[in-house]
């Protein structure tokens, strides 16, 4: 495995990362909310890339894993800045973006910010706009009042301790929405979604497929798989779709 390294972003945040490989394009893994770069999918994909000699990058957003800051102080925009900073400082040439859950939203934001760099994209249970369409839309009147009065609410998680959702995260998310305006993805795109995902409903995947614009966009619904999407069969499927994105003919950008 590669060794953890660090760099400082223009915003002054210290980001932990692993980088390896010599052959492009660079595969970049973007993790989910409160996930870190030591997750099963990230580490497995790094090993797959290393076996190929493929360039690979995984990193922790600020407030996640080994990077600086507290999760409660961050928001979608901060983590987008971290992603742009990591891409700018640590990679060159074409990229294959692999985004899991919130990382799928981050991959889509990067496609809007740096479309010239992206050669392909694979998402796993992508969760675009979830701060508005899931959190805010699902809050009770009491939770909305608490958010206004106290600046945060705690939401239960199926996978770890409760998420602390802040007013800043909700308000910042409204500036990062990608399903309300045109979303051009002019490169090979593979969306993966488990039918038993209780964190990101299948309707989100269909909405994203319908909304995105591009000549080579596919959605694969995988029966019986949940949000983790990290059993051996799922990991092999992710590998195959990343390779497909690498090898697929490039469409005009």
Mean pLDDT to the nearest integer, 209-217: 97
DSSP string, 104-143: HHHHHHHHHH-GGGEEEEEEES--TTHIIIIIIHH--HHH
Q: Are the C-beta atoms of residues 11 and 17 closer than 8 Å to each other?
A: no
Give Cα 213 distance to the centre of its chain: 19
The pTM (predicted TM-score) of the whole model is: 0.95
Confidence of residue 161 (pLDDT cuts 50, 70, 90): confident
Mean pLDDT of the chain: 94
What secondary structure does DSSP assign to 17-81, as a single string?
EEEE-SEEEEEEEE--TT--TTSHHHHHHHHHHHHHTEEEEEEPPTTSTTSSS-GGG--HHHHHH
Angle at which helices 40-52 and 232-247 cross, to 10°: 50
Do 120 and 25 contact (CB within 8 A), yes or no?
yes
Asked if 124 and 101 count as a contact pair (C-beta separation under 8 A), the reply is yes
Closest CA to 188 of 125, 250, 236: 250
Average pLDDT over residues 155-179: 88
Q: Phi, psi at residue 89, to the nearest 5°?
A: -80, -30
Asked if 190 and 121 touch (Cβ cutoff 8 Å), the reply is yes
Q: Where are the domains of the chain?
A: 5-129+178-246
Give pLDDT, residue 252.
47
Residues 6+ apart with CB under 8 A from 218: 189, 190, 191
Band of residue 253 on the pLDDT scale cut at 50, 70, 90: very low
Q: pLDDT tens for residues 91-110?
A: 999 999 999 999 999 999 99
Whether the Cβ atoms of residue 191 and residue 112 lie closer than 8 Å to each other: no
| Contact between 246 and 52 (Cβ < 8 Å) | no
Q: Give tens-digit pLDDT for 21-78.
A: 999 899 999 999 999 999 999 999 999 999 999 999 999 999 999 999 999 999 999 9
Radius of gyration of the chain (CA): 17
What is d(CA 20, CA 2) in angstroms, rounded to the nearest whole number?
A: 6
Alpha-carbon distance of 128 to 98, in angstroms, equals 14
- CATH among 2.40.50.320, 3.40.720.10, 3.40.50.1820, 3.40.30.10 for 5-129+178-246: 3.40.50.1820
Q: How much of the chain, in percent, has pLDDT values that exceed 90?
A: 92
Name, in order, each residue with C-beta under 8 angstroms of 23's C-beta and a sequence gap of 6 or more: 52, 53, 54, 55
């Amino acid at each position: 495995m590669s060794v953890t390294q660090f760099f400082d972003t223009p915003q002054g945040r210290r980001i932990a990362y692993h980088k390896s490989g010599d052959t492009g394009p660079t595969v970049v893994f973007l993790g989910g909310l409160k996930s870190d770069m030591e997750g099963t999918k990230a580490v497995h994909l790094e090993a797959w890339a290393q076996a190929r000699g493929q360039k690979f990058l995984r990193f922790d957003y600020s407030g996640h894993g080994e990077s600086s800051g507290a999760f409660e102080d961050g928001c979608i925009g901060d983590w987008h800045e971290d992603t742009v900073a990591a891409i700018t400082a640590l990679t060159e040439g074409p990229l294959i973006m692999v985004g899991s859950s919130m990382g799928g939203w981050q991959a889509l934001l990067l496609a809007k910010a740096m479309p010239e760099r992206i050669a392909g994209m694979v998402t796993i249970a992508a969760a675009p706009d979830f701060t508005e369409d899931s959190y805010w839309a699902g809050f009770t009147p009491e939770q909305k009042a608490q958010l206004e009065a106290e600046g945060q609410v705690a939401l239960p998680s199926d996978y770890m301790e409760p998420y602390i959702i802040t007013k800043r995260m909700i308000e910042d998310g409204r500036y990062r929405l990608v399903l309300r305006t045109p979303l051009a993805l002019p490169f090979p795109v593979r969306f993966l979604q488990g039918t038993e995902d209780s964190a990101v409903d299948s309707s989100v995947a269909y909405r994203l497929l319908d909304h995105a614009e591009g000549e080579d966009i596919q959605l694969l619904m995988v029966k019986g798989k949940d949000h983790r999407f990290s059993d051996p069969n799922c990991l092999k499927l992710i590998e195959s779709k990343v390779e497909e994105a690498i090898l697929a003919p490039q469409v005009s950008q």
